[in-house]
A and B are shown apart, each in its own frame.
Chain A
Amino acid sequence: MLYINCPHCGLRSQNEFAYGGDATVKRPELNKEISDQEWDNFVYLRKSPRGKHLELWHHISGCRQWIKVERDTSTHEIFKTYKANEAIE
């Protein structure tokens, strides 16, 4: 079970969190004309990288904040965690 350092609460076990997928996906702006392809990329297409990956976790049984976690998908090593809108190094 992962041990995730919530930037708001500190180290907490994985069972307090819900996984939220790729954190690098950016929602297209509202009212902007975009192609079907662009929209499909946003809604459906995700990479499944082996290695470092920036992902979203939701601290649902804690502070209820969405956080970003930089994790190695093959070793589960967690390098860094960020608040929702913190700049990513």
Chain B
Amino acid sequence: MSQDFRLDNVGMVNREKKISFKFNGKKYFGFEGDTIASALIANGVHLVGRSFKYHRPRGFFGVGVDEPYAILQLDRNNERDPNIRATEQEIFEGLEVKSVNCWPSVNFDIGAINNFLKMFFPAGFYYKTFMWPPSFWYKIYEPFIRMAAGFGEASIKHDKERYEHKYEYCDLLITGSGPSGLASAYAAAKNGARVILAEDKPRFGGSLLTSDVNIGNQTGVEWTEKIIAELKSMPNVTVKNRSQVFGYYDHNMLVMSERISDHLPKTQKYLPKQRLWYIRANEVLISSGSIERPLVFGNNDTPGVMLSSAAKEYMKVYGVLVGKKPLIFTNNDSGYETAIEFKKNGVNPIILDTRSNPSSDIITEAKNLNIEIRFSYVVVAAKGYKKVKSADIAKISDNKKELFNIENIECDCICVSGFWTPSIHLASQSGNKSKFNEKIDAFVPDKSKQKENTIGSANGIFTLEETIKDAFDKGFDVSNKITEKNNKVSAPTVVEKKSTDHDKFWCVPLPKGKSYKRFLDFQNDVAVSDIELALREGFRSIEHVKRYTTLGMATDQGKTSNLNGLQLVSDIENKVVPQVGHTTFRPPYTPVSIGAIVGREVGKHSKPTRKSPMHSWHEKNNAVFVDAGVWLRPRYYKQGNEGLFEASKREAKNVRQNVGVCDVTTLGKIDVKGPDAAEFLNRVYTNAWLKLPVGKARYGVMLREDGIVMDDGTTTRISENHYHMTTTTAQAANVLSHLEYYLQLVWPELNVNVVSTTEQWAGAAIAGPNSRKLLMKLFPNLDVSNEGLPFMGYKEADLFGVPAKIYRISFSGELAYEINVESDNGYFMWEKIMEVGKEFQIQPYGTEALSTLRIEMGHVAGSELDGRTIPYDASLEGLVSKKKDFIGKRSLNRSAFTSTDREKLVGVVPIDKTTSIPEGSYIVKDPKAKLPNPKLGHVSASCWSVEYDNPFSLAIIKDGKNMIGQKLFAMSPLKNKTIPVEIVSSHYVDPEGKRVRS
């Protein structure tokens, strides 16, 4: 087929550029500027999908965001994109789309059998059917529902496209570039306001693109072009097309999705596919326009039945005829504009007007053009299965209840107009309670809730003259409030054809003996009969009716169906629409790509990656890294064919025998300064701090107010009023917030300041029996003897010209020192340590060896201080002062925390001395006991003890202190292992702590 329905010389597509694309595998041609919908219609294709429930044939109903039918799946550069609206997606060379919800093809769809079984698929079918027996859920019901549900298939591959977020501020955001949007943007911009004008379509102008009007002696299109050009030239204005403002959130934050590359064959270099704008607007003018309402009649979902405004836009913007024998079915003057447009293009339409005797300029014009018009006439039912072939039409009585003279006339499309529904979604999301306007039979925004005003047809103003005048005024008023300027531009004169009111009639009665499906919601197959049934079954609240029947749900969110649904409910209930109310509008207004919401925060970009200054050395020396919070730390340094187990064992053994060096930069560091610093630490930590001398470090434990251990670490008194606190890597940020909380809110009288210095210092721990010899070589002028620099001592010294701080602290349980230098000198320090340490058999060790060393020493870490343990549980009760008060102390008196058989830290060794115990295993008395097996506790950390060359674990078990020597079992249901174990002291190596003091 070769664009048989394309008009010559009409429309705005670029005829110079022919574009080929594939639909369901078949090649078609269109022009640059076409949407998939316009290009397919040009080729005479109207069957594009199948409906959700009955799999009835689906065509095109609208021309934009309101489209309920034409949802396709797009393949672009091997990426799959479901839920593409054919009316919005522009074509590009090589585009491939296919139909969804049909099998094996859109032409022959097995699921269409549902259409003949429709008496078995009433409203609430799922609720009624998938009830019993419960055992059917998992194997039968759920797979069935999953198979039937959804449009299209999401890709399971990683999306390689790039999406960005942008944060923007403006005086005034205007959502839509129709007449009201353009006029208000122009007035506000001229008055100095910083304006963002957003348009969801590729072309600016909204209804001005298709209506036959005159503004300031120009056509709508010419005026649009002039205003847009001027706005674009102004530095205080941002104009965006293909940009949908879809959400109105708190405090005038609106979110807009800009489709930057969706209309291109490939995303350009340095550009994202889509950009999500977070816009904080001082004021908002909602100019989102209105959507034409369908009329309801038999088989009104047949392909070829569409909104009359859509038919007009296909002609005027795309130069495409939706049919060559059009029937226009209308209850207002809008249908006449479409009919006149057909006539102008050489096609003879027939107008069926539900009104008995209307008169207006445009009706006169239609009559003068010899268009056939039948008043008090309705379409009873569309005929044809995959495309409209004819229609049963009839005269309707004045009370609109009876049909006469039913006859069948040939037609290939039915363009319907049931008047207009303002798009009040954004105003409603802002919190604006809408009110019902009887004149237009629709809801309009009421009092502003946030700083928002609604203008133009979105506010129920349907004459251009009033729209333009009001928008100029609003644009000026709003900008005047912000800029306090008074540059007022006058509104242009407007000439438009006057029209009359619409007929409130919207639903054609069924002729006697007929049971046509009359659809309200085209996306979810909700018919008049479904709503009637729901009400018969007792559903009253419109929110319940919505959920029971699915009216107004899914991707189009009832843009075309909501009001007719409300009309029907109120008719049956003998109420008026405002009494029924409407369902809540929630963002997003249109579907938004998940990728755009996520933005650049994917994979490694979801959080910053922190690296120590020595990172490149680790990389060069075959370090295998592990994520430690946002830090990357060496887990082990691979030599030859070693795996994790061999390497960490070698590294840990070398620490016990010679000397090792570990990058400890990641530890949290906080400077605590001020005359009350000692008193503050005394309140923060559980142990005593007032008498710590200058030049000494102390290990401390801090609690939360509920008595649970929050963190541990050493703090060193650098000078009289200056302390250097260290925290665990994971808790660094929380501890700082915790300290700030107490200093700022609880004890503001304490004269103390805290600041994070984590990034200021690079740290290296040197540990092992040779570490003092190494230190002597690194600091030849410093007395590093046991007396000169005792355990928990602190010294400042010069490291080959670089100032360094030496803390004699130990996590490994060996004789050890931690050297800190300014971050910039970290790499230098590390290289010096490796160079000088060579003669003492130094080796770097990673976090795995570090864990091994601390576990066999019984030192607790994050796996024991897991947010559930109090000091006693982690065997830290010796650090809890009985004399002074501190954060969380009062909680330790609670009965559960003083119970004598609390879980406590112990060591665990497998009886066979060879089987490693999986972390997380349960400790139980009898592995064969009835399930659930009473659990004594759990294994918190496991290692291979390099000291004894057998597995060793730490566990926290009930009444731990009295369990030493017991033979129990470690069970891991996950690993399917049951291991006989013996409970031992948690201090497996050097229980007296001689090494650290040697």
Contacts and interface: CB of A to CB of B under 8 A. Distances in A.
Contacts of B746: 27
Interface string B270-290: 000000001010000000000
Interface in A44-89: 44, 56, 58, 60, 64-66, 75-76, 78, 84-85
A30 B705 CA distance: 12
A75 B450 CA distance: 10
A84 B737 contact: no
A63 to B, nearest CB: 11
Nearest to A76: B250
Interface string B225-259: 00000000000000000000000011111000000
A64 B740 contact: yes
B894 interface: yes
B745 interface: yes
B340 to A, nearest CB: 48
A36 B894 contact: yes
Nearest to B707: A43
B885 A30 contact: yes
Nearest to B737: A58
A28 B888 CA distance: 11
A43 B741 contact: no
A84 B891 contact: no
Contacts of B741: 20, 58, 66
Pick the most buried of B705, B733, B745: most chain A CB atoms within 10 A of its CB.
B745
Given A3-B280, A28-B890, A66 B705 contact: no
Contacts of A76: 250-251
Contacts of A56: 745
B746 to A, nearest CB: 5
B431 interface: yes
Contacts of A18: 737
B720 interface: no
A1 B526 CA distance: 36
Nearest to A83: B744
Nearest to A39: B890
Contacts of A85: 744-745, 748
Nearest to A18: B737
A42 B249 contact: no
Task: Give the interface centre of B278, B737, B748, B890 by most chain A CB atoms within 10 Å.
Answer: B890
Contact of B740 (A13, A34, A58): A58
Given A31-B885, A34-B890, A66 B745 contact: yes
Nearest to B749: A85
User: Which of B253, B744, B894 neighbours the largest number of chain A CB atoms within 10 Å of its CB?
Assistant: B744
A2 interface: yes
A1 B253 contact: yes
Interface string B635-678: 00000000000000000000000000000000000000000000
B683 interface: yes
B252 to A, nearest CB: 7
A30 B883 CA distance: 12
Interface string B862-895: 0000000000000000000000110000110110
B894 A3 contact: no
Nearest to B704: A43
B796 interface: no
A31 to B, nearest CB: 5
A20 B745 CA distance: 11
B901 interface: no
Contact of A3 (B253, B733, B744, B884): B253
29 contacts: A1-B249, A1-B250, A1-B251, A1-B253, A3-B253, A13-B167, A13-B253, A27-B705, A28-B890, A30-B683, A31-B885, A34-B890, A36-B893, A39-B890, A43-B706, A58-B737, A58-B740, A60-B733, A64-B740, A65-B740, A65-B744, A66-B740, A66-B741, A66-B744, A75-B431, A76-B251, A84-B748, A85-B744, A85-B745
Given A18-B737, A58-B737, A76-B251, 11 more contacts: A1-B251, A3-B253, A20-B741, A27-B746, A39-B890, A43-B706, A58-B741, A64-B740, A65-B744, A66-B740, A78-B251
